[in-house]
Amino acid sequence: MALSWRNFASRIGMDPEPHPRPPAHVLRLQPYRCVSSLKQIEDRTDTEPYKLDWNESTVAPSPRVEEALTHVLSNGAKLNWYPDLAAEDLTAALESYTGVPRDSLIVTNGSDDALLLLCRTYLRSGNEVLVPVPTYTHFLVHVGAQNARVVELRNPNPFATDLNRLERAITGKTKMVYLVSPNNPTGTMWTSRQIDYLCSSYPNVMFVVDEAYHEFSGQSVIHLTQTYSNLAVTRTFSKAFGLAAFRVGYVAAHPRACGHLWRLHNPKSVNTFGQLAATAAVHDLPYLESYVEEVRAARTEFVSRVRELGLEIFDSVANFVVLRVPQPHRLTDGLEKHNIYIRDRSTMPGMAGCVRITVGTREQMDHVFGCIKQVVTEQGWV
């Protein structure tokens, strides 16, 4: 009597329930872990929440965003139509904002989509991608999805950049180098001179500079994309512009590189409302600049007060800082009782004992400092 597939598979140790399986390199991937405080926030209505764990803006976006969306919805928005495939209005606004010509700009579904597009375009099996760590870890998933290999570069001091160490780690197998500037979570910067040197010295390597927080630093290498075809700069509207819910970002690169990226880009990926919101936000730069200046002032004051308290804190040029304490979970748990949510980063390379705190306005950070002081005093750390 013939064996059924189920009995035969069980006998030889195979899965008795046949189903399509992804490639082995996909099965080896560790998914990006999204540790979010949204559920805890939704469950509480007693006090104002302070969501300081994902580096989002702590204030609403420009009023022009709501005005633009309301106008469209009130005047017969064609919700049954696809969005503008070229994102022409937003691209024109970005051309003015960045100083980069529109043939060097591609609007994407958040900067995550821009990073994915770069990996899909330039990486293949066997390539190596050099990544100083700690860093933004979602990018590592994009690399692994192409069956490329992440080569982690660990510095003795994660709160400083080391060009010499980076250069020594570049090999003939290095296809791409990923540099977050300002870096998440350490807040360190790669200078324009350093990126200029790297791009000119290694023309066969694609350098990806993630500038998600560049508005807060006031520094950028985006102008170098017009000189080097091996440089791509990614940015997002999720941080300084306060549009995280809309998922809009962009990549700036040399026209030659953009020509490659367009081959795999999905022009339908940025929805109509995201385009409208981002365009309205770019058209209100005074609002952006006011918020950025407020965050910078709040960060300076907050860092100074924490240091006076006797705690170890690492400043940055972004909208977050890193605090090191004896037991991070006790600080995060203690602040949650005050409806304040920060990010435990103590398991990342070189980040033992560290938590990351998004910086908001001076009023907000005054409240946060008071709660931190109460918790650390209760723990006997000061």
Residue 50 in domain: yes
Residue 33 in domain: no
Q: Which domain holds residue 296?
A: 38-59+286-379
Residue 308, classified by CB atoms within 10 Å of its CB into exposed (0-12), middle (13-18) or buried (19+), is exposed
Cα dihedral 82→87→90→93 (10° resolution): -150
Q: What is the pLDDT of residue 38?
A: 67
**In a shared domain, residues 325 and 230:** no
**In a shared domain, residues 205 and 192:** yes
Domain boundary among 283, 308, 337: 283
- The count of domains in the chain is 2
Q: Are strands 105-108 and 340-341 parallel, antiparallel or unpaired?
A: unpaired
Residue 135 in domain: yes
Query: pTM for this one?
Result: 0.92
Residue 21 in domain: no
- pLDDT single digits (tens) 221-272: 999 999 999 999 999 999 999 999 999 999 999 999 999 999 999 999 999 9
**In a shared domain, residues 162 and 219:** yes
- pLDDT single digits (tens) 24-38: 777 776 776 766 676
Q: What is the pLDDT of residue 238?
A: 98
**In a shared domain, residues 171 and 261:** yes
What is the rounded CA–CA span in Å between residue 147 and residue 127? 8
Share of the chain above pLDDT 90, in %: 86
Give yes or no for residue 341 having a pLDDT over 90.
yes
Average pLDDT over residues 303-307: 98
- Residue whose structure tokens are 């790297």: 198
Q: What is the pLDDT of residue 26?
A: 72
Q: Are strands 149-154 and 174-180 parallel, antiparallel or unpaired?
A: unpaired
**In a shared domain, residues 325 and 219:** no
C-alpha 262 chain-centroid distance: 22
The CATH number that applies at residue 296 is: 3.90.1150.10
Share of the chain above pLDDT 70, in %: 93
Q: What is the pLDDT of residue 76?
A: 83
Give yes or no for residue 16 having a pLDDT over 60.
no
Residue 242 in domain: yes
The CATH number that applies at residue 142 is: 3.40.640.10
Of 37-46, 47-56, 207-216, 340-349, the one with minimum mean pLDDT is 37-46
- Render 103-143 in DSSP notation, one character per residue: GGEEEESHHHHHHHHHHHHH--TT-EEEEEES--THHHHHH
Q: What is the pLDDT of residue 18?
A: 64
- pLDDT single digits (tens) 97-123: 999 999 999 999 999 999 999 999 999
Task: Judge whether 365 and 301 are in contact, CB under 8 Å.
Answer: yes
Task: Judge whether 119 and 146 are in contact, CB under 8 Å.
Answer: yes
Residue 310 in domain: yes
CA angle 299, 318, 368 (to 5 degrees): 35
Closest CA to 214 of 242, 182, 238: 182
Domain boundary among 283, 300, 331: 283
81 DSSP 8-state letter: S
Of 11-20, 186-195, 219-228, 260-269, the one with minimum mean pLDDT is 11-20
Q: Coil, strand, or helix at residue 222?
A: helix
> What mean pLDDT, rounded, does the chain reach?
93
Q: What is the pLDDT of residue 153?
A: 98
Q: How confident is the model at residue 39 (pLDDT cuts 50, 70, 90)?
A: confident
Residues with Cβ < 8 Å from 246, sequence gap 6 or more? 237, 271, 273, 274, 277, 278
Domain boundary among 225, 248, 283: 283
Q: How confident is the model at residue 20 (pLDDT cuts 50, 70, 90)?
A: confident
Q: What is the pLDDT of residue 44?
A: 72
Average pLDDT over residues 184-200: 97
Q: What is the pLDDT of residue 47?
A: 74
What is the rounded CA–CA span in Å between residue 12 and residue 76? 62
